[in-house]
Copies of this chain bind each other. A is one copy, B any other.
Amino acid sequence: MQDYKLDEVDMKILERLRYNAKFTLTVLSKELDMPVSTIRYRIKKLEESKVILGYVPLIDRTNLGYKVSLILEIDTIPKYIERVVNEISQFPPTVRVYGVDSGPKLHVHAIFKEEEEAYSFISHRLYNIKGINSVETSKIIRRYKIDPSILL
């Protein structure tokens, strides 16, 4: 279902779930002062209409030992872009790969346990891929705002 129009109730439910996807129907029912079955019906519709794509746990990379989080801007030779994307996406450190409109560029997020691992990844892995012109690297040093529910 595309372009499913959300009303205020849907928005309120989404808002609460974005805070905590584990709220029970009963809790939402009380908070929004609506019957449990109505809440359930709405959520099911949000899921079926693909407004809600799924549910995930938020994992803090730092508590898993991944100290280094990089943003990579990869300039790519146009005709190799699909190939570059495929190779990059398969590396475990890359968590997100986007195509952007400026130049034939890829915007990549990747996480590593140590600096050393990151540099090794860039020089040994990335620069070995045919079709990559250049890689600009930024390290994330501060998280000011995170709204993980919305997919870019």
| Dominant secondary structure of chain A at its interface with chain B | strand
Please, which residues of chain B bring their CB within 8 A of the CB of A61? Answer: 150-152
CB distance from A18 to the nearest CB of B (A): 6
**How many A residues touch the partner, as a band?**
35 or more
Mark contacts of A17-44 with chain B using CB atoms, 8 A cut-off: 1 yes-contact digit, 0 otherwise: 1101110000000000000000000000
> In A137-152, which residues have CB < 8 Å from any B CB?
137-152
Q: How many copies of this kind of chain does the complex include?
A: 2
In the complex, which of the residues A2, A6, A102 has the most CB atoms of chain B within 10 Å of its own CB atom? A102
For the complex formed, measure the closest distance between the CB of A52 and the CB atoms of chain B, giving whole angstroms.
5
Q: Which residues of A contact B (CB under 8 A)?
A: 2-4, 6, 14, 17-18, 20-22, 49-61, 63-65, 69, 71, 85, 88-89, 94-102, 105-107, 109, 111, 137-152
